[in-house]
Amino acid sequence: MSVQEWMPLIIWFIYLVIFAAVVTGIFVFIKLLKSKSSSAHPVEEAGTKRGTD
Instruction: Return the sign of the alpha-carbon dihedral for residues 36, 40, 44, 45.
Output: positive
**Overall domain count for the chain:** 1
One-letter identity of residue 5: E
- Distance (Å, rounded) from C-alpha 24 to C-alpha 5? 30
Look up the pTM and report it. Answer: 0.52
**Number of alpha carbons in the 13 Å side-chain half-sphere of residue 7:** 4
Segment 7-44, tens digit of pLDDT: 999 999 999 999 999 999 999 999 999 888 776 555 55
- Distance (Å, rounded) from C-alpha 40 to C-alpha 24? 25
- Distance (Å, rounded) from C-alpha 53 to C-alpha 51? 6
Range of the domain at 13: 3-52
